[in-house]
Amino acid sequence: MPQKTFAKVIAIDGPSGSGKSTIAKELARALNVLYIDTGAMFRALAYIANSEKIELTEGAALNNFLSSIKLEYGISDSILIRINNLDLSDKIREHHVSKLASIISQLPSVRKYLLDFQRSLALDKVCVMEGRDIGTVVFPDSFSKFFITASVDIRAERRLKQLRENGDDKITLNQIAEDVRKRDETDMNRAFAPLKKAEDAMLLDTSALAMKDIINILSSEVKFRAAHLGFNL
Ligand code: DC
């Protein structure tokens, strides 16, 4: 029987606020491999499409936009993402971009465009790729998959802390928890590439775990799997 082949991608998926970005970055650092943030790509496309007044719906305008842009990821330590030579690394973190990214991420043509881009970035490289559909759609054959989650209350508390630090002192914990529940509902029920755990992903609830312990658990698991498949990290 032919041996099953695996992509050398460590897939990290999960809802926002689960701590997956911090985990993915720290894990990539601990293993000394490339870190790929796919959310940044949806954000960058949304930012530029919106600033060029492209309607965020399927149609000729969006298709022309996608076929005419030059998207670049991970250019240097200081430039994470660029479209048409414009550095968007900071702009994509602005608050209003989250909403636009969530809208654009529901469009099949955008998902297809980024699917091809994400696959081309990881060709034959060991990397940690973080998103919502990496283990299910982008790299269903990745050798190591994790689905990171945390309780709604914990995720809402983390978000509240972030917003307070950014000077928002109006929004309440209950409002945020409600938003988190709604966003989960949308992400898990969208028609294309919904947020869901791949059957062969390891589920990790970070509600009561320290970051140091999480990274230890994940890196041991990844090293074990890589050794089993016969490649070095
Ligand atoms: O992880 P993030 O908040 O930066 O993601 C921004 C948006 O993109 C969010 O609405 C989820 C969406 N996204 C997605 O649909 N698929 C991915 N692989 C990554 C992000």
Side chain identity, residue 222: V
Ligand 1 pocket, residue 111 CB under 6 Å: no
Q: Whose CA is nearest to atom 10 of ligand 1?
A: 102
Of 103, 130, 132, 162, the one to substitute when testing ligand 1's pocket (max ligand atoms within 8 A of C-beta) is 132
Residue 144 CB coordination number (10 Å): 26
Q: How far is the CA of 102 from the centre of ligand 1 (A)?
A: 7
* CATH fold for domain 7-222: Rossmann fold (3.40.50)
Instruction: Calculate mean pLDDT across residues 60-64.
Output: 97
Residue 56: pLDDT over 70: yes
What pLDDT is attached to residue 3?
A: 65
Instruction: Calculate mean pLDDT across residues 123-133.
Output: 92
Q: How far is the CA of 1 from the centre of ligand 1 (A)?
A: 38
- CB-count exposure of residue 227 (10 Å: 0-12, 13-18, 19+): exposed
Place of tokens 């294309």: 192
Q: What percent of the chain has pLDDT over 90?
A: 73
Break the chain into its structural domains and give their ranges.
Answer: 7-222
193: confidence class by pLDDT, cuts 50, 70, 90: confident
What pLDDT is attached to residue 138?
A: 97
Ligand 1 pocket, residue 139 CB under 6 Å: no
